[in-house]
């Protein structure tokens, strides 16, 4: 089975008007995504942010639970947070994952607006086949990944859909649903 | 297809030590669960809390987006929040759902610790069969539903599992994963 990585991208993402912005890291994204990633056996989940102060904030949230109060208070939360790594750019995340696995991961683009791309079931099959390289799934905060990010992708994943047309999920929900589709029992 | 309801329970739930407690409503649960519920065609999602001040807090969060700033700012968020109803007890939620559908929903219990119950795939099949009554899925905040809540249930759903043993998901993640398993395309 392919090793699985994910990257939560804060720049470049779009706002509600489609403008390119840099979103803020939230402590809730950190916790929820760490817990979902660890539940589904993600090898490393990257929090990607170009601004040093934001990366320091994320590191503070994580270290609080790793070393201080949190370690004694809730060991399961600490364990999940050890799945995370805070980096400056997507290239840093790719380099780190490549060093772990000895090969470069295939980059998977996600969006709430894609159709005509790969289905999650197909990606799961691919990941379970022998010799598939590791996979890194990109998730955009704000209103989603900027269009330019698609150029970095080897695989474009179709949007998650329910029975109707509305699919305005939080990034935390999207991460957990895609991980369950790829790795759930 | 059966109509689908869900109820987010704040009492009786357990804390990390298994004690029966009442948890606080968080605005993030409200938003994330509304968006996931609306994406998957949930007919109504109930926020269940025994304390009036907490129910007022939830109503304020919802009304902020329905009527004020939020309405102009983000119509998709407003639309999702209209799926929510804040009630005092599980019985109130059941009575409301029964009035909408003209019959009492089957109550489905969820927990991160259940095995030997029904699989989500089996419940999905049941919901897609003709003549199945509406379904109401209960989710516990804090560290999950108190043991006594199981007595209210018609169906006990198995825990969500990834490839390993760790399954300490946030309630927001659990809601979105179970909805996707029952109603995802």
- In a 10 Å sphere around its CB, with 0-12 CB exposed, 13-18 middle and 19+ buried, how is residue A65 labelled? buried
* Token output for B118: 């029904």
Contact A41, B161 (CB under 8 A): no
C-beta separation of A1 from A7 below 8 A: no
CA angle, B14 as apex, B13 and B17 as ends, to 5°? 175
Note whether A180 contacts B185, CB cutoff 8 Å: no
Token pair of A148 as six digits? 């330019």
Chain B residues inside the 8 Å CB shell of A38 = 166, 168
CA–centroid distance for B61 within its chain: 18
* Nearest CA-CA distance, residue A28 and chain B, Å: 9
pLDDT tens per residue across span B144-176? 999 999 999 999 999 999 999 999 999 999 999
pLDDT attached to residue A68: 63
Neighbouring C-alpha atoms within 13 Å toward the C-beta of A9: 32
**Confidence class of residue B130 from pLDDT cuts 50, 70 and 90?**
very high
- What pLDDT sits at residue B115? 86
Q: What is the average pLDDT across B44-62?
A: 96
Residues near A112 by beta carbon (within 8 Å), at least 6 away in sequence? A144, A159, A160, A167, A168, A169, A174
The upper half-sphere exposure of residue A153, i.e. CA atoms within 13 Å in the direction of its Cβ, equals: 20
Q: Is this complex scored with an ipTM above 0.85?
A: yes
Mean pLDDT of B80-91: 95
Of B40, B76, B170, the CB nearest to A162: B40
Give the closest of A40, A162, A172 to B185, CB-based.
A162
Interface test with B, best of A180, A182, A184 (most B CBs within 10 A): A180
CA B39, CA B80: separation in Å to the nearest integer? 8
| Residue A70 confidence (pLDDT) | 61
Nearest CB among B28, B73, B173 relative to A36 is that of B173
| 3-class SS of residue B88 | coil
Q: In chain B, which among 80-139 make CB contacts under 8 A with chain A?
A: 80
Q: How far is CA A135 from the centre of its chain?
A: 11
Residue A32 has its nearest CB partner, among B36, B172, B185, at: B172
Give the chain B residue nearest A31 (alpha carbons). Answer: B170
**Residue in chain B nearest A163 by alpha carbon:** B40
pLDDT band at residue B71, thresholds of 50, 70 and 90? low
- CB-based contact, A177 to chain B, within 8 Å: yes
**In chain B, whose CA is at the least distance from the CA of A36?**
B169
Q: Do B164 and A79 touch (CB under 8 A)?
A: no
A74: closest chain B residue by CA = B16
* Average pLDDT, integer, range B3-8: 98
* pLDDT score at A73: 64
DSSP classification of residue B103: S
Cis peptide before A12 (omega within 30 of 0): yes
The pLDDT tens digits for A44-90 are: 999 999 999 999 999 999 988 777 666 666 678 788 888 999 999 99
Which regions of chain A are under pLDDT 70? 68-74
Chain A residues within an 8 Å CB radius of B40: 162-163
CA distance A137 to A107: 6
Kindly report the average pLDDT of chain B as a whole number: 94
3-state secondary structure of B5: strand
Closest-CA residue to A170 (of B126, B137, B173):
B173
Task: Annotate A79-140 with DSSP letters as a single string.
Answer: HHHTTEEEESSHHHHHHHHHHHHSSPPEEEE--SS--SSB-HHHHHHHHHSTTPPPEEEEEE
Question: How does strand B13-14 pair with strand B4-9?
Answer: unpaired
**Can you point out the beta strands (E) in A71-125?**
84-87, 106-109
């Amino acid at each position: 089975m392919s090793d699985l990585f994910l990257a939560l991208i804060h720049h470049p993402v779009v706002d509600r008007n489609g403008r390119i912005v840099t979103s803020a890291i939230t402590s809730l994204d950190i916790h929820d995504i760490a817990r979902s990633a660890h539940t589904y056996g993600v090898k490393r989940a990257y929090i990607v942010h170009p601004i040093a102060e934001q990366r320091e904030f994320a590191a503070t949230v994580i270290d609080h639970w790793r070393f201080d109060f949190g370690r004694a208070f809730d060991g399961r939360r600490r364990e999940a947070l050890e799945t995370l790594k805070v980096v400056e750019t997507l290239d840093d995340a790719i380099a780190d994952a490549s060093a772990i696995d000895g090969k470069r991961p295939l980059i998977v683009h996600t969006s709430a607006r894609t159709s005509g791309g790969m289905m999650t079931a197909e990606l799961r099959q691919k990941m379970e086949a022998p010799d598939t390289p590791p996979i890194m799934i990109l998730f955009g905060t704000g209103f989603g990944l900027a269009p330019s990010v698609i150029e970095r992708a080897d695989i474009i994943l179709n949007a998650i859909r329910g029975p109707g047309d509305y699919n305005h999920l939080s990034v935390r929900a999207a991460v957990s649903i895609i991980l369950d589709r790829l790795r759930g029992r």
